Structure 1
Amino acid sequence: MKHPYSTPEAVAQHLLGRPFSDLDEDEQHVLRHVVSRHVELQDDERLAIHASYGDRLADRVAAVGGSWGFIISFMLVLVLWALLNNDHVAALLGIKAWDSYPFIFLNLMLSMLAAIQAPVIMMSQNRQSIKDRIYNRHDYEVNLRTTIEILKLHQKIDRLTQDVAAMRQGGTTPD
């Protein structure tokens, strides 16, 4: 006798009460995995695992650039820059201001930093969104597998309950 959960079509019909063809692509994918009992990585998961050096660098730049440590140290550099380039403070320290007000060189440096940092952070955010999609797909798969296993257990308990009730009424043992 063929087991009722031997094909994805049988699992869909028996446990979910719907034909396999009516399920969406993710549900079909999970049912195939449940029946085969093995998990394979999809293309985007393989890409996320094997990130290039540039991708890993973008992740590190985004992690540093989005931290309070970076923000505070960057603010300190800007304040120090403004103080050292103030004509009065520079004269007191005996140095010559290299970028006096309105800090044209500082503006150039900040513009170049923003021009480079923004796309790098966006690359990292794109990678993070791929990671989030993978995580969500795995989470969905685990939830659907759990639901299917609970439905299987529920059916087994129902069968056992019916068998016990039949034994009590008829005094016979079930097959």
Structure 2
Amino acid sequence: MPRERLDQPRELRRSFRPHYDPEDFGRLSERIARFLGTARFLVYMTVFVLCWVVWNVVAPAAARFDEYPFIFLTLMLSLQASYSAPLILLAQNRQADRDRVQGEEDRQAREASQAELEFLTREIAGLRITLGEMATRDFIRSELQQAQQVRTPQ
């Protein structure tokens, strides 16, 4: 058996398992979950169930969907619910992952803002100290007046 080379990619192995892109599937599940959470979906589902019930009550026995049509309706609704729940959970998990990443970015931005604010606070304090040590106009005038008084005796 030849040794695998680390500087070359592995050959793709054929598999009977279906291949799908997790990102595409995740986006599709989010779109479905968004639709399932709308009033439009509830209206569509209500109209479908009402039509099913009315058809299977009013229509002649030969035109009905099945001998026991409401069992088949229950089966279809159960199947729809069994696919809806995992799709909704997948969409929620993707949203939680996005929220976690956004929270981390917010925390980093908050830390950077805090560090910048502390730096600016230190700079302002340094400027205040420097300004406090500077000679003001009034101080210079008083010093000049004192110097003139010392020169000219009265």
Q: Report if TM-score (shorter chain) is over 0.5.
A: yes
Overall identity of the aligned pairs, in %: 31
The one-character-per-residue Cα deviations of 1:52-75 (angstroms, maximum 9, x if unpaired) are 211111111111111111111111
The structure-2 alpha-carbon separation of the partners of 1:159 and 1:118, relative to structure 1 and needing over 3 Å to count, comes to same
- Given that residues 30 and 91 in structure 2 are in contact (C-alpha distance below 8 angstroms), is that contact kept between their aligned partners in structure 1? yes
Cα distance in 2, alignment partners of residues 166 and 51 from structure 1: 66
- Given that residues 99 and 106 in structure 1 are in contact (C-alpha distance below 8 angstroms), is that contact kept between their aligned partners in structure 2? no
Match in the other structure for 2:59: 90
Runs of 4+ in 1 over 6 A off after TM superposition: none
Pairing partner for 2:50 from 54, 70, 79: 79
Could you tell me which amino acid in structure 1 is paired with residue 82 of structure 2? A
Match in the other structure for 1:114: 81
Cα distance in 2, alignment partners of residues 80 and 116 from structure 1: 23
Instruction: Give the unaligned 5+ runs of structure 2.
Output: 1-20, 141-154
Match in the other structure for 1:3: none
Pairing partner for 2:108 from 121, 141, 147: 141
For residue 102 of structure 1, report the CA deviation from its aligned partner: 6.7
Match in the other structure for 1:68: 39
Q: Please tell me whether Structure 1 or Structure 2 has the larger radius of gyration of its CA atoms.
A: 2
- Given that residues 55 and 123 in structure 1 are in contact (C-alpha distance below 8 angstroms), is that contact kept between their aligned partners in structure 2? yes
- The count of aligned residue pairs is 118
The structure-2 alpha-carbon separation of the partners of 1:165 and 1:51, relative to structure 1 and needing over 3 Å to count, comes to farther
- Given that residues 85 and 97 in structure 1 are in contact (C-alpha distance below 8 angstroms), is that contact kept between their aligned partners in structure 2? yes
1:166 correspondence with 2:133: yes
- Given that residues 61 and 120 in structure 1 are in contact (C-alpha distance below 8 angstroms), is that contact kept between their aligned partners in structure 2? yes
Match in the other structure for 2:91: 124
- Given that residues 84 and 90 in structure 1 are in contact (C-alpha distance below 8 angstroms), is that contact kept between their aligned partners in structure 2? yes
Cα distance in 1, alignment partners of residues 97 and 104 from structure 2: 11
SS at match of 1:98: coil
Higher relative contact order (CA 8 A, sep 6+): 2
Instruction: Give the unaligned 5+ runs of structure 1.
Output: 1-49
TM-score (norm 2): 0.68
The one-character-per-residue Cα deviations of 1:24-83 (angstroms, maximum 9, x if unpaired) are xxxxxxxxxxxxxxxxxxxxxxxxxx9621111111111111111111111111111111
